[in-house]
Every structure is written in C-alpha cells, then in structure tokens.
Copies of this chain bind each other. A is one copy, B any other.
Amino acid sequence: MARAATTSDVFNAIAERQRRQILVLLRAGERPVAELAHELGMTQPGASKHLRVLREVGLLKERKAGKQRLYRLDARGLRPVHEWTGGFEQLWNERFDRLDAYVQDLKHARREE
C-alpha cells in the first residue's frame, strides 16, 4: 500500500499552499477560473486542478455563467478542522505556561546550589 488519497479529505486539501490561497481569495466572493489563476500567478490548468480538488472535498461550489465557471466558497468543510485544532487550545495556552514555570524553578534551584 501507498498513500492516503488527497481528495475526499479536507485536511489534505488544505495542506497545499496554493489551495489555501484560493480559499482566501474566494472569501471575498465568487470568481472565474482565469481570474484566480492570474491573481495567484499560476497557469489555467493548474488552477483548474486545484479547484477540482477543493470542489471534490466540498469546499467549493461551481456555477456556470456563460463561458465562465464561477467558483464560490463553501467554508463549512473547514469547521471540522477548526474544531479539531480547537481541541488543543487548552494545551497551547496552559500546559506550556506550566512548563515555563517548571523551567524557572529549575533555574532557581540551580542558582541556589
């Protein structure tokens, strides 16, 4: 066996810088492919591929408008990621404060020897 699929998994979909940039751009509203490609300095096929991945994990919706296809953000899929990381919030606040305190204690103890 080899690797986990990138599609059908939001965590993998947003692991790519350019895809994250696409999502950020689309926060301002729907846009056509060529515009996204241009603003992010990538080729049109490149943009289309990333858009496909994002669409397949449900983060994007597509809408036809004449020759263009307008992509729109559906941010709901990001919520699980937000919540998962949120499950560590206590730790990145509290626990390392405790560690700092512990380190401080060590320094004091050493100084007193």
| Residues of A participating in the B interface, judged by any CB pair closer than 8 Å | 4, 9, 11-12, 14-17, 20, 23-24, 27, 73-76, 78-79, 81-82, 84-89, 91-92, 95-96
Please state if A74 and B89 are interface contacts (CB–CB under 8 Å). no
A12 contacts across to B, CB distance below 8 A: 15
Q: Among the listed B15, B82, B89, B91, which residue makes an inter-chain contact with A89, where contact means beta carbons less than 8 Å apart?
A: B82
The dominant DSSP class at the A interface is helix
Give 3 closest A-B pairs by Cβ, nearest first.
A82-B85, A75-B88, A75-B91
A79 contacts across to B, CB distance below 8 A: 85, 92
Please state if B20 and A84 are interface contacts (CB–CB under 8 Å). yes
Please state if B11 and A88 are interface contacts (CB–CB under 8 Å). no
A16 contacts across to B, CB distance below 8 A: 4
A73 contacts across to B, CB distance below 8 A: 88, 91, 95
A76 contacts across to B, CB distance below 8 A: 92, 96
